[in-house]
């Protein structure tokens, strides 16, 4: 079996070897412990089959390594300890999330293909930006990038220059169409940097923030969504040293 999960344990699911279907996991808790400066993160997920909780998975991760994992089966109260089996051929840099019932698959390496497998059996493919870096690594992140209450997904890669920041490609989930849609960069000449660079979110004020190097200076750009969910430029200013 394989356990897949993304940012803060979101987008998690289980797939058993030899079976086509997947089992959604609903995040129940996330705890963080600091032991001698090595963070230990423990996730607990409810296994959900046909709308019913049938078991619980628990996984602990420290220094990017799985330190413990287990499964509690509800029907008989039996606890199974899980042991990680590393197989590089099976992994090969592939990452997958299950978000809003949609199975998203992409590669951390040079493969640029992004696949959306929707619950209605429709499959959509897209291409993520390629990159040139001595240590290429594409990262995925799950967050509510437009503050509408639905998690979205973003993919980031090192910038094409010195690799001092990361550029983001963001797909927003549309609850009406039940599809993921590419977030377009606002076309505003006043923004000091092009592209979504080092994206962070100001949840309190519902702002999308970017930071990058333009010329000899570092700049911070601020964006806000309109009532029609259109992203607009608000301001740009030099970053403080």
Q: What is the DSSP string of 116-176?
A: EE-TTS-EEEEEPPP---SS---EEEEE-TTSSSS-EEEEEEE-SSSS-SEEEEEEEEETT
Q: Using the structure block, give the residue that is written with the tokens 């601020």.
A: 222
What's the pLDDT score for residue 135? 65
Strands 94-99 and 123-127: unpaired
Structure tokens at 218: 């570092």
Regions of the chain with pLDDT less than 50: none
pLDDT at position 84 is 87
- The whole-number pLDDT of residue 210 equals 93
Nearest residue to 129 (alpha-carbon basis) of 99, 105, 159, 93: 159
Measure CA 240 to chain center. 29
Rounded Cα gap, residues 8 and 20, in angstroms:
26
Q: Cα separation of 142 and 99, whole Å?
A: 9
**pLDDT the model gives residue 64:** 76
Predicted model pTM: 0.91
Half-sphere exposure of 62 (CA within 13 A, CB side): 13
Going by C-alpha positions, the residue among 211, 197, 176, 156 that lies closest to residue 6 is 156
């Amino acid at each position: 079996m394989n356990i897949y999960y993304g940012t803060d344990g979101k987008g998690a699911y289980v797939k058993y070897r030899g079976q086509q279907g997947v089992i959604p996991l609903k995040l129940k808790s996330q705890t963080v412990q600091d032991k001698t400066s090595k963070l230990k993160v423990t996730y607990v997920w409810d296994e959900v089959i046909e709308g019913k909780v049938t078991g619980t998975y628990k996984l602990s991760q420290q220094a990017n390594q799985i330190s413990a994992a287990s499964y509690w089966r509800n029907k008989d109260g039996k606890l199974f300890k899980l042991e990680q089996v590393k197989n590089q051929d099976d992994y090969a840099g592939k990452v997958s999330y299950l978000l809003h019932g949609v199975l998203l698959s992409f590669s951390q390496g040079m493969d640029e293909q992004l696949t959306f497998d929707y619950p209605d059996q429709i499959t959509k493919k897209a291409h993520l930006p390629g990159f040139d870096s001595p240590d290429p690594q594409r990262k995925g992140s799950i967050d509510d990038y437009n503050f509408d209450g639905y998690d979205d997904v973003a993919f980031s890669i090192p910038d094409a220059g010195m690799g001092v920041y990361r550029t983001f490609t963001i797909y927003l989930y549309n609850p009406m169409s039940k599809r993921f849609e590419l977030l377009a960069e606002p076309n505003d000449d006043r923004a000091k940097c092009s592209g979504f660079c080092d994206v962070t979110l100001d949840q309190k004020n519902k702002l999308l923030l970017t930071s990058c190097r333009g010329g000899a200076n570092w700049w911070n750009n601020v964006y806000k969504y309109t009532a029609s969910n259109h992203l607009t430029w608000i301001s740009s200013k030099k970053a403080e040293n």
